[in-house]
């Protein structure tokens, strides 16, 4: 059993995307990019371990890297890596065409189904930042220095209290 890469059908199950998207070539095209992203963010020894193909189902590393065993599709013989899935959506979200005539992700659909509103560019960027934060949070035990810096950069900061006085 191998932790990553994750099969497209498993990615769709984790991300709650339509099953008919399994044939969408965009996921196959981005798989290498996502693997390289993970390689650049995690320590090399963890990446090498995560791409090995000989783990038994009960191996502690496999279970921790996969996150939560047996929580998705019962037909799936292995558990998808959440970090990989979130990074896959991060990489592909601006290119997906989900039930729209144009390109983009539907934000709202009118009551009569004749009006749709897509996410704007800034909303897609905010969505991608949230996905990357979730992925890096899941992979935090395996991150290298670059990955840790990116995680700190993405974490929302609490607003600072300012004291103002009237003179």
pTM across the whole model: 0.73
Instruction: Say if residue 93's pLDDT is above 50.
Output: yes
Q: What is the pLDDT of residue 1?
A: 59
Q: Give the residue, 102 or 91, on which the prediction is more confident.
A: 91
Query: Taking the alpha carbons of 99, 97, 72, 151 in that order, is the dihedral positive or negative?
Result: negative
Instruction: Say if residue 69's pLDDT is above 60.
Output: no
User: 9 near 76, Cβ under 8 Å?
Assistant: yes
User: In which band, very low, low, confident or very high, does the pLDDT at 79 lie, cut at 50, 70 and 90?
Assistant: very low
Strand partners, 116: 109
User: In which band, very low, low, confident or very high, does the pLDDT at 70 lie, cut at 50, 70 and 90?
Assistant: very low
Instruction: Say if residue 150's pLDDT is above 60.
Output: yes
Residue partners of 54: CB distance under 8 A and separation at least 6: 1
Q: What is the pLDDT of residue 75?
A: 36
Across the chain, what does the average pLDDT equal?
77
Instruction: Say if residue 130's pLDDT is above 50.
Output: yes
For 118, list phi and psi in degrees, rounded to 5.
-95, 160
Rounded CA gap, 95 and 97, in Å? Answer: 7
User: In which band, very low, low, confident or very high, does the pLDDT at 83 lie, cut at 50, 70 and 90?
Assistant: confident
Instruction: Say if residue 74's pLDDT is above 50.
Output: no
User: 89 near 130, Cβ under 8 Å?
Assistant: no
User: In which band, very low, low, confident or very high, does the pLDDT at 11 lie, cut at 50, 70 and 90?
Assistant: confident
State what percent of residues in the chain have pLDDT above 90: 23
Rounded CA gap, 4 and 48, in Å? Answer: 10
The alpha carbons of the chain give a radius of gyration, in whole angstroms, of 19
Lowest mean pLDDT among 16-25, 49-58, 80-89: 49-58
Instruction: Say if residue 153's pLDDT is above 60.
Output: yes
């Amino acid at each position: 059993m191998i932790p990553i890469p994750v099969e497209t059908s498993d990615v769709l199950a984790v991300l709650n995307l339509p099953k008919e998207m399994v044939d969408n070539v965009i996921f196959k095209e981005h798989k290498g990019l996502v693997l390289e992203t993970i390689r650049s963010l995690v320590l090399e020894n963890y990446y090498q371990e995560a791409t090995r193909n000989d783990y038994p189902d009960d191996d502690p590393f496999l279970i921790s890297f996969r996150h939560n065993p047996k929580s998705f599709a019962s037909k799936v013989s292995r558990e998808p890596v959440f970090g990989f899935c979130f990074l896959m959506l991060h990489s592909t979200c601006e290119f997906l065409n989900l039930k729209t005539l144009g390109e983009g992700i539907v934000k709202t659909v009118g009551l009569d189904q004749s009006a749709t509103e897509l996410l704007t560019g800034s909303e897609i960027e905010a969505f991608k930042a949230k996905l990357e934060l979730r992925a890096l949070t899941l992979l935090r035990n395996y991150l290298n220095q670059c990955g840790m810096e990116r995680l700190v950069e993405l974490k929302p900061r609490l607003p600072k209290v300012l004291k103002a006085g009237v003179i």
